């Protein structure tokens, strides 16, 4: 999932440099959402792993 967030971030940067503002804005939004989902799932996995060890 982090891979897809980075791909959308790169697409947003390239689109922004080429002047495609709407596409860059949309791709950046998708990258931001995927990144936050990744962080939430990572933290849940970390808490679950620590909880199972105790």
pLDDT at residue 52 in the model:
86
The DSSP line for 7-52 is HHHHHHHHHHHHT-HHHHHHHHHHHHHHHHHHHHHHHHHHHHHHHH
How is residue 42 written in tokens? Answer: 């990572």
Contact yes or no for 7/27 (Cβ under 8 A): no
pLDDT tens, position by position, 20-36:
989 899 999 999 999 99
User: Collapsing DSSP states into helix, strand and coil, what is residue 54?
Assistant: coil
Average pLDDT, rounded, for the chain: 90
- Residue 50 and residue 38: Cα distance in Å, rounded? 18
- Give this prediction's pTM: 0.76
pLDDT at residue 54 in the model:
65
């Amino acid at each position: 999932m982090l891979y897809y967030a980075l791909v959308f971030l790169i697409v947003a940067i390239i689109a922004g440099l080429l002047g495609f503002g709407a596409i860059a804005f949309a791709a950046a939004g998708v990258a931001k959402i995927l990144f936050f989902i990744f962080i939430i799932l990572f933290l849940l996995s970390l808490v679950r792993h620590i909880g199972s060890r105790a």
